[in-house]
Amino acid sequence: MAQNRLASERKRFEPGFLRERIESSLRRLRTDYIDLFMLHSPPVEVLQNQDVHRLLIDLRDAGKIRYLGVSCDDVASARAALAWEEIDSIQVPVSLDYREMLPEILPMASSRGVGVIAREVFAGGRLRDHPAIRQLSVQRPGLQWFEFALQFVQQMPEVSTVVIGVTTRAHLNANLNALASQPLPQELMTQFRCVT
Ligand SMILES: NC(=O)c1ccc[n+]([C@@H]2O[C@H](COP(=O)([O-])OP(=O)(O)OC[C@H]3O[C@@H](n4cnc5c(N)ncnc54)[C@H](OP(=O)(O)O)[C@@H]3O)[C@@H](O)[C@H]2O)c1
């Protein structure tokens, strides 16, 4: 019951509801401001709603939010987020398996100075069996699939940071080591960025 309530509330974007939730988060976190407030996968119409814009700008101007962002699921919502001048950051899926954001959204964010948080870089763990990974294992034996998957996204010039999904300490350590290892050569980045 409580889970159902949370699941449905998670998808509510009315300004009054958002204000109440932000204020109660501040109280629970015992803090005066939220560093980065991101709307979680809103539909395009929410991103075009002037009342939502006004609310978040008011909260930012009041010092309760420092930066505004939107977590987007597809190109249409990322485009709508970037059309909003006040947005500081977008969170988008980017991986060897999901390149829809590459041609338009990443360059647009970069040219506007909007931070890009890339997520689902392992395609939820399914990348291990991707054809590009099989091709890579022939071309560069020894380079682990997760190392390539992570570096491939993290090294994109438009990407500010990555969110990685891990539930095991072993994967966390492996990913931290991957991030600290030698960068991928540029020709590999170019080759796989262009793979369709
Ligand atoms: N709309 C949104 O805002 C939205 C939508 C989707 C996801 N997200 C967020 O984005 C984050 C990432 O999403 P995700 O977890 O679905 O995708 P992901 O990061 O692409 O994949 C996570 C999967 O990869 C596995 N993995 C990670 N490192 C590995 C390694 N070194 N070797 C082998 N397997 C490895 C994990 O296994 P283990 O669990 O076994 O470590 C897990 O199964 C999450 O925090 C999620 O909440 C947000």
How do residues 58-68 score in pLDDT, each as one tens digit? 999 999 999 99
Chain centroid to CA 57: 21
Model confidence at 7: pLDDT above 60 = no
Q: Which of 192, 92, 196, 93 is nearest to 143 (CA)?
A: 192
Calculate what percentage of the chain has a pLDDT beyond 90: 80
Q: How far apart are CA 70 and CA 47, in angstroms?
A: 9
| Farthest CA pair distance, the chain | 56
- pLDDT value at position 2? 44
Print the domain residue range for 54: 2-193
Q: Is the pLDDT of residue 159 over 60?
A: yes
Are 152 and 127 within 8 A, CB to CB? no
Give the per-residue pLDDT at 135.
Answer: 87
Pocket lined around ligand 1, Cβ cut-off 6 Å: 40-41, 71, 73, 91, 119-125, 146, 163-168, 171, 174-175
The pTM for the full model equals: 0.93
Instruction: Give, using CA atoms, the residue closest to atom 27 of ligand 1.
Output: 166
Confidence of residue 118 (pLDDT cuts 50, 70, 90): very high
**Which of 97, 166, 173 is the pocket-test mutation for ligand 1 (most atoms within 8 Å of CB)?**
166
The DSSP H or E segment spanning 33 is none
Rounded mean pLDDT of the chain? 92
Q: Model confidence over 123-139: pLDDT tens digits?
A: 999 998 898 888 888 88
pLDDT of residue 10: 61
Q: Is residue 37 within 8 Å of 68, Cβ to Cβ?
A: yes
- Give the model's pLDDT for residue 195: 60
Which residue has a Cα nearest atom 32 of ligand 1?
171
- Which CATH number belongs to the domain containing residue 82 in this structure? 3.20.20.100
Residue nearest to atom 4 of ligand 1 (CA): 71
The pLDDT value given to residue 132: 87
Q: Determine the pLDDT at residue 1.
A: 38
**Residue 105: pLDDT above 70?**
yes
Count of domains observed in the chain? 1
Q: Report DSSP letters for 94-139, one per residue.
A: -BTTB-TTTTTHHHHHHHHT-EEEEE-TTGGGGGGG-HHHHHHHHH
What pLDDT is stored for residue 87 in this prediction? Answer: 97
Strand partners, 36: 67
Which pLDDT belongs to residue 6? 52
User: If you measure from the C-alpha of residue 58 to the centroid of ligand 1, how many angstroms do you get, rounded to a whole number?
Assistant: 34
